[in-house]
Structures are given as C-alpha cells and as structure tokens.
Amino acid sequence: MKSSYNSNLTYKDLLESIIFLKNPKKIIEFGILDGFSLQVFSSKKDCQIEAYDIFEDFNGNGSSRDVVEKFKDYKNVSITYGDFYKKFLEIEDNSVDIIHIDIANNGDVYQFAIENYIKKLKNDGLLILEGGSEERDEVEWMKKYNKKKIKPYLESLKLKWKNIGNFPSITLINKI
C-alpha cells in the first residue's frame, strides 16, 4: 500500500520547516527577485531579515525596486542594495542564524559562500543555497556560459551538507 507520506511538498514547505526547526533571530538573504523566499522568511515576526540584491545591475532577470514597496509594512524586513561579492566585509563574524543565497548560483558562488560567509554564521547556523543537484548543474545557462558545476564541488567538501529535491533543488550546509 502506498504511504500517504509518499507525495510532494513544495520549496515553500521546506523553507517553512527550516524556519520552524531553527527558530532564527537573524536571517540574511542574497537574491530577492520578486520576494518569494523573502515572503516565507518574513512571516517569522521575531526574526530580523536583511535582504540584499543588486537590482538593475544584474545582467539577467534582476529584482525590481517594486519589491521594496511590497515589503514596506514588514517591520522585521530590510531590503537594500548589496552585492554578495562585497557585503561579507560588513557583516560581523558569528552573528547570523541563516544565510540564504540565491543569485544565479554556480560552483564558484558556492565556493565564495563557503570561503566568506560560513564564518558569519553562529556555530549552529545554516547556509541555504539554491541548486546543487545533478539536474540543476545541467541547466541551459550553466552550460552556455561554461559555469563551474555545483555538485562535484559539494562532493569535494569536508563540511556537512544535504541537497534536497531534483530541480532546482536546495542545499543546506551546517557551519559545524
């Protein structure tokens, strides 16, 4: 007999479950677009969420400034211009519960995150990154622009990580 548990959940369900289990007080997000993931995080009212995007400077489907308007009544959310490749310099070490990175990820983005953002997490903190599955590494733009694959990079790491889903999939990496 087929178990009733053997059915699908969404990425929203997954993110909500992480928030429930980790009970974060501070989240940083890079890559807002229309605010789908930010909407999920923002429902945790006792958590401060700093969201960053490079808006019109992104050479692709970038976030529009309308998203600022969308979240203007959320007291726990700040939306500011911030570049993933520079912002880490301003973030205190050991200060964040969850960092979510969704900026057209590839293997180099993952490597940069691990080298520069893991240290920003508290010891029980969690890095959440879009992608990481074999299917996601085959996405058209990754092949077209010869981007470094994520999965083989993940497999080379000593850190504890877990990739969930097929496409786009999500990767969770524990600080320790």
Ligand X SMILES: C[S@@+](CC[C@H](N)C(=O)[O-])C[C@H]1O[C@@H](n2cnc3c(N)ncnc32)[C@H](O)[C@@H]1O
The window from 24-32, 71-79, 111-119, 156-164 that contacts ligand X (CB under 6 A) reads 24-32
Rounded to whole angstroms, the Cα distance separating 113 from 154 reads: 12
Cβ-contact 37, 15 below 8 angstroms: yes
Closest distance to ligand X from the beta carbon of 6 (Å): 27
Q: Which of 50, 97, 102, 137 binds ligand X (CB under 6 A)?
A: 102
126 CB neighbour count, 10 Å cutoff: 20
Q: Check residue 170 and give left, alpha or beta (phi > 0: left; psi -120 to 50: alpha).
A: beta
CA distances from 77 to 68, 81, 129 (A): 10, 13, 20
Name the residue nearer to ligand X (CB basis): 16 or 83: 83
The window from 18-26, 100-108, 110-118, 149-157 that contacts ligand X (CB under 6 A) reads 100-108
Name the residue nearer to ligand X (CB basis): 129 or 154: 129
Q: Does 71 bind ligand X (CB under 6 A)?
A: no
Stretch 111-140 residues interacting with ligand X (CB under 6 A): none
Name the residue nearer to ligand X (CB basis): 35 or 125: 35
Q: Which of 22, 26, 70, 83 binds ligand X (CB under 6 A)?
A: 83
Kindly state the number of chain residues that form the binding site for ligand X, as judged by CB under 6 A.
Answer: 19
Q: How far is CA 25 from its chain centroid?
A: 16
Rounded to whole angstroms, the Cα distance separating 43 from 174 reads: 23
Name the residue nearer to ligand X (CB basis): 62 or 74: 62
Taking CB under 6 A as the rule, which mask of x and - marks residues 25-64 in contact with ligand X? -----xxxxx-xx--------------xxx---x---xx-
Cβ-contact 154, 110 below 8 angstroms: yes
Q: Where are the beta strands (DSSP E) in the chain?
A: 26-30, 48-53, 77-81, 96-101, 121-130, 161-164, 170-174
Residues of this chain that interact with ligand X (CB under 6 A) are 30-34, 36-37, 52-54, 58, 62-63, 83-85, 102-104
